């Protein structure tokens, strides 16, 4: 099973269909918190929805279209991270992540994102990774900034978060920039 060690007991691991109940429970437990940032939360209302998500991500990982990994602290799922909008002809992808509300503020997102960026730049031909976030999401802004992602632009009124139209901040890091902070 594909696993990355992010240090201090934090692991990034490929989901299996057996993870569906745990994934659903993590989303459900943090539903109100996550809903303020992610529209997909409203559609994830059963364990079966989580199982279908995992199965779809496993298929997409096989052809390098997307990648979804659980963020585990010990045996506890504390969030999720992955690659999407993987554009092979441009050799770039977007990186996305979320944490359960009880896992916020502990450095898990920064460690998980840093670990995945290291893996991607070391083991794939991707030369650029982007993080997109709602302008109001100061925690994601902090993660991107700490890891050396540069703000490349702001798309005004280009995302919806919990029914509110917000600006979308686009950050990026190039392979040759990574690790030079």
The string of pLDDT tens digits covering residues 118-155 is: 999 999 999 999 999 999 999 999 999 999 999 999 99
Amino acid 60: pLDDT: 93
End-to-end Cα, the chain, rounded Å: 32
**Is a pLDDT exceeding 90 seen at residue 181?**
no
Fold topology of 3-174: Aminopeptidase (3.40.630)
Q: What is the mean pLDDT of the chain?
A: 94
Pull the structure tokens for residue 179: 């690790």
Among 33-42, 107-116, 137-146, 150-159, the least confident range:
33-42
CA–CA gap between residue 177 and residue 148 (Å, rounded): 8
Q: Is the dihedral of CA 9, 139, 43, 46 positive or negative?
A: positive
Tokens 């997109």 correspond to 132
Amino acid 91: pLDDT: 97
**Class of residue 42 by CB neighbours under 10 A (exposed 0-12, middle 13-18, buried 19+):** exposed
Give the H/E segment covering residue 96.
strand 92-99
CA–CA gap between residue 120 and residue 124 (Å, rounded): 5
3-state secondary structure 12-54: EEECCHHHHHHHHHHHHHCHHHHHCCCHHHHHCCCHHHHHHHH
């Amino acid at each position: 099973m594909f696993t990355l060690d992010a240090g201090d007991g934090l692991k990034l691991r490929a989901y299996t269909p057996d993870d569906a109940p745990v994934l659903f429970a993590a989303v459900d437990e943090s539903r109100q918190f996550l809903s303020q940032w992610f529209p997909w939360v409203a559609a994830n209302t059963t364990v079966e929805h989580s199982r279908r998500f995992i199965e779809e991500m496993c298929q997409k990982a096989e052809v390098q279209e997307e990648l979804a990994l659980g963020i585990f602290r010990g045996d506890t799922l504390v969030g999720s991270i992955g690659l999407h909008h993987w554009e092979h002809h441009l050799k770039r992808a977007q990186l996305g992540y979320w944490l359960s509300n009880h896992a916020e503020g502990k450095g898990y997102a920064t460690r998980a994102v840093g670990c995945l960026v290291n893996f991607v730049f070391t083991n794939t031909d991707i030369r650029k990774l982007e993080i997109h976030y709602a302008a109001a999401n100061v925690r994601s802004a902090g993660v991107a900034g700490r890891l050396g992602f540069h703000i490349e632009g702001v798309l005004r009124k280009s995302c919806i978060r919990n029914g509110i139209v917000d600006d979308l901040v686009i950050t990026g890091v190039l392979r040759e920039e990574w690790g030079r902070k």
